[in-house]
Amino acid sequence: MASANAVLSPHVDAILPRTRPPLPDFTAELPPFEAAPGRERLIQFREALREAMSEEMRRDKRVFLLGEEVAQYNGAYKISQGMLDEFGPKRIIDSPISENGFAGLAVGAAMYGLKPIIEFMSWSFSLVAADQILNNVPKMLYMSGGQWGCPVVFRGNDGAGGQLGSTHSWCVEGLYSNVPGVKIVIPSNPYDAKGLLKTAIRDYDPVFFLESERMLGDKAHVPEEEYYIPFGQAHLRREGGDCTLVSFGRPVNFCLEADAALRKDGIECDVLDMRTIRPLDIDSIIRSVRKTGRLVVVDQCWPFASVASEVITQVVERAFDWLDHQPLRVNTEDVPTPYAKNLEAEYLPNPAKIAAAVRRSLGR
């Protein structure tokens, strides 16, 4: 089989050598998740994403951003605000309203040695590009015998965005996590959003980076120094011995609210933020379950064949003898996403549902 370099344009190959730069040193200690009072650097979730992309674009000229309204309009959600002025129209590129087209462009660009960041205005629209992102991107390295990979970062808003209706409210992680060859990242806060996105851009494999429109304005401490968060390492956000709460993305914050309410009644939970679900840090979950004997998984996907289902299956396979109660899950209701505000709130996981599941696991 011909080598990859044999088919590349000499001009492109000279400018963009296909050598793999070293990945970050993940053994380095991460800066504190929370700063000392008065020393916080509070920025929005969207600003953390912008910083991550800008820092990596300054570091590596192969990185570019492509999507609908990312350039002239500064991003539909103002995530890419100001980036066109700094990097110019060859690296911050407005696309037509054609997800299948610009996702396919990313496949070719990545095979040529570039590092595309593709923004879907909503992951609901990624369904239009399913053939490209599920049938081509994850399989390219395998099907080319290791000659070509597709190191593309696909990112955008995932899940119910607040009265957007059924067709604009997909939680795609339950569907897409079934496909081998992709990494799936779902941050729950600005600190993780920056560190995980920087890692995603440096990664050699395709990464699906799922954000939440409802969190883009959230503010939290984000350190000024450069840092990278490794994939497949959960973050223990709260420690307790009564029950293990596992979640990822926006519902992590509901778990923290539920745990705060439960602590008033003397119930304390381990709250595990998974950060990534491909790869999944099942070892951290098992360690916690061995301590607590109880498990509640909170997942904003529909319940059938969900990420929660997979987590519970792996726990039962590996830690059944440590369970004192059957594992429980809190998902969205098994119906299309309602438009009405009150129905949408009831449809989603919430602190009350989570607290009730924890009490049930304790027989209360």
Whether 11 is catalytic is no
Q: 51-60, 141-150, 310-319 — which is least confidently predicted?
A: 141-150
Residue 312 has pLDDT above 90, yes or no: yes
Residue 206 has pLDDT above 80, yes or no: yes
The residues facing 211 across adjacent strands are 157
Q: pLDDT (tens digit, 9 = 90+) per residue, 58-83?
A: 999 999 999 999 999 999 999 999 99
The CA distance from 243 to 296, in Å, is 7
Instruction: Please state which architecture CATH assigns to domain 235-361.
Output: 3-Layer(aba) Sandwich (3.40)
pTM of the model as a whole: 0.93
The residues facing 153 across adjacent strands are 117, 207
CA-wise closest residue to 237 among 246, 226, 224, 225? 246
Domains 33-221 and 235-361 share a fold: yes
Whether 168 is catalytic is yes
Residues 6+ apart with CB under 8 A from 337: 160, 164, 165, 166, 169, 344, 347
Band the pLDDT of 147: cuts 50, 70, 90: confident
332, 128, 90, 228 alpha-carbon torsion, rounded to 10°: 30
The CA distance from 315 to 268, in Å, is 20
Band the pLDDT of 22: cuts 50, 70, 90: confident
CATH of domain 33-221: 3.40.50.970
The CA distance from 94 to 69, in Å, is 5
CA-wise closest residue to 13 among 113, 140, 144? 113
Q: What pLDDT score does 319 carry?
A: 97
Which entry of 47, 56, 68, 99 is annotated as an active-site residue? Answer: 99
Q: pLDDT (tens digit, 9 = 90+) per residue, 40-60?
A: 999 999 999 999 999 999 999
Band the pLDDT of 19: cuts 50, 70, 90: low
Q: Report the relative pairing of strands 269-273 and 219-221 from DSSP bridges.
A: unpaired
Band the pLDDT of 7: cuts 50, 70, 90: very low
Q: What pLDDT score does 148 carry?
A: 83
Residue 280 has pLDDT above 70, yes or no: yes
Which entry of 56, 168, 173, 211 is annotated as an active-site residue? Answer: 168
Spell out the domain ranges in the chain.
33-221, 235-361
